[in-house]
Amino acid sequence: RQVCVTAIDARFDNGEWICYLNGGRVPTSRRLLEWAHEAQERGAGEILFTSMNHDGVKTGFACEVLAELADNLEIPIIASGGAGNCEHFRYVFTIGKADAALAASIFHFNEVPIAQLKTYLKENNIIIRQ
């Protein structure tokens, strides 16, 4: 199952998480938890969740809804959208209960060197791959 990853882009709109298409530009009628459950039932092995509200702003991941996904699904959750510093990764693994997290621009622009992040996470008792 783990080879089938379902990517879900969602935005917090009017008090609820709504799924979006086309990189967060086209809203659907699907709610995040509803769609994530269906993806799991259809055989997805992991959910890659991107918060469109957090993506690119570097203010941290959407930890509250990530924890809700983790608490309500049996498959791993990969967090995307919001990484700006090392602390954001610690929070996404502890508060957000994510199994994995990804980032792009902070690594592309060397704002947070990967080696530094790995050291920080190890120092904070977050298990990482070498």
Residue at 56 is within a domain = yes
pLDDT at 117: 97
pLDDT exceeds 80 at position 15:
yes
DSSP-derived pairing of the beta strands 77-80 and 46-51? parallel
Which residue's entry shows tokens 């509803």? 34
Tell me how many domains the chain contains.
1
Identify which of 116, 4, 11, 20 has the alpha carbon closest to the alpha carbon of residue 56: 11
pLDDT at 1: 67
The pLDDT tens digits of the residues spanning 66-112 come to: 999 999 999 999 999 999 999 999 999 999 999 999 999 999 999 99
**What is the residue-averaged pLDDT of the chain?**
96
Ramachandran angles phi, psi of 21, nearest 5°: -110, 170
Query: For residue 40, what are the domain limits?
Result: 5-123
pLDDT at 2: 66
Residue at 74 is within a domain = yes
> For residues 76 and 69, what is the distance between their CA atoms, to the nearest angstrom?
9
Residue at 128 is within a domain = no
Which residue's entry shows tokens 């879900």? 8
- For residue 26, give the CATH number of its domain: 3.40.50.12600
